Amino acid sequence: MDEIMTGASGEVSRDVELLGKYELGKVIGNGAFAKVYHGRNVRTGQSVAIKAISKRKVVKGGFTAHVKREISIMSRLRHPHIVKLIEVMATKAKIYFVMEFAKGGELFTKISKGRFSEELSRRYFQQLISAVGYCHSRGVFHRDLKPENLLLDENWDLKISDFGLSAVKDQVRADGLLHTLCGTPAYVAPEILAKKGYDGANVDIWSCGIILFVLNAGYLPFNDSNLMAMYKKIYKGVFRCPKWTSPDLKRFLDRLLDTNPETRITIDEIIRDSWFKQGYREINPPDYEFDAKDLENNQNEKCLNAFDIISFSSGFNLSGLFSDYNDISANAERFLSAENPDKIIQRVEEVAKREDDKMLIIKKNWGAKFVGRHGNFVLLILIYRLTDDLVVVETKTKKREVGPSREIWRDKLRPELLSMIYQPEGVNCRDAAPLT
């Protein structure tokens, strides 16, 4: 039986009683700090999906504003191809999103069994663009569109889900761009890799292009077992369509996967395109009031997703990959670690004291400052929690070009830190780009 039904502490049973009208069934999905259950409305018998979010993990990870924004966005979006949020309930320990149940499961599961015909690919792409265009017209950018986040209902129609990484116009900076790194690696637009800011609508369109390619081809346009090699392919934008792709679809994909966001096709242009228009029926959903200014946001919040984790890992640091965008300080480095934060500081402290017994060390929470005996070397270590198991370690150094303290950093302290890098399973970080 599900853990939510049989918690040893009895907390779960109280949750079920408090929820009242819903019975919780089997787990149908898992996330970073949430599980999705099949549920049933006891009074009506209606099937629902219930997303149970741990308050402790949300607060500990600093994602409170993130969850509030997801609720605000989903409660205002009403479109036949977007999963509907029915209600939100909460207990002392958990937050529950009660949502429309998509009986057909993930589109990813269906496509994994084989590619679609061009006609079926077009049908799902039309439904996707209808929903994405609706979101954009209300100032909402999904930022993590992929087949895993596209569900199918009992009629095999598409439903966009998981707005946990969505952004709203209020998060746009003075330059008119978003700057938070979000998305799943294979679906990430090249301008996100460049870390120079991006337009939310443009990156969603790029992801839609990747999805259309996958539907038609059955595989990704940019893929490589080496992540750095895959990023280079994405940045160059060179892909090859399978032989069964029609000339019109090939032309259309070229517009969608244009590496220049300024010339990439827009939603309006997509709807007018000759390939897209075949059999398209425009949907005009009820115009619910949607004011993005009402949404709480935190521009400094950390998006928890695959791309963010990879981009923080030193093994996949992109700052030296694209010379035109290399604005990262040479004395600042970041990487992922699965080590305990206190242990990281302790290990560096032990090496520092062994090499320089006069080094001044100041510690505060998950941070430390190391100052060489003559003040000619300063090292700052700051540690941030990403998940229950992973932390981001940021180091900043201020040092002279010569001297014993520089050698301690280069030969002792830095190697000690690098020995604590998190390496994703199956990835050899020695083959990846070095820290800058």
| Short-list 68, 91, 89, 79, CA closest to 12 | 91
- The one-letter code for the residue type at 426 is G
- CA angle 183/203/102 to nearest 5° reads 60
Dist. CA 294–CA 252, nearest whole Å = 37
Q: For tokens 């900043």, what's the residue?
A: 396
The question of whether 357 is a catalytic residue gets the answer no
Nearest 10 degrees: Cα torsion 210, 216, 219, 221: -40
Structure tokens at 208: 């839609």
- Return the DSSP state at 76: H
**To which H or E segment does residue 25 belong?**
strand 22-30
Dist. CA 228–CA 322, nearest whole Å = 12
Options 15, 144, 162, 199, the catalytic residue: 144
Strands 158-160, 167-168: pairing is unpaired
- CA angle 208/32/365 to nearest 5° reads 125
Which stretches within 237-340 are classed as H helix?
A: 247-256, 267-272, 274-277, 306-312
Residues 6 or more apart from 434 whose CB is under 8 A from it?
A: 314, 317, 320
Q: Kindly write down the DSSP assignment for every residue of 251-264, as one continuous string.
A: HHHHHHT-S-TTTS
Dist. CA 340–CA 146, nearest whole Å = 33
| Short-list 23, 28, 101, 49, CA closest to 15 | 23
Q: For tokens 């029609």, what's the residue?
A: 246
Give the residue numbers annotated as catalytic, written as ranges: 144
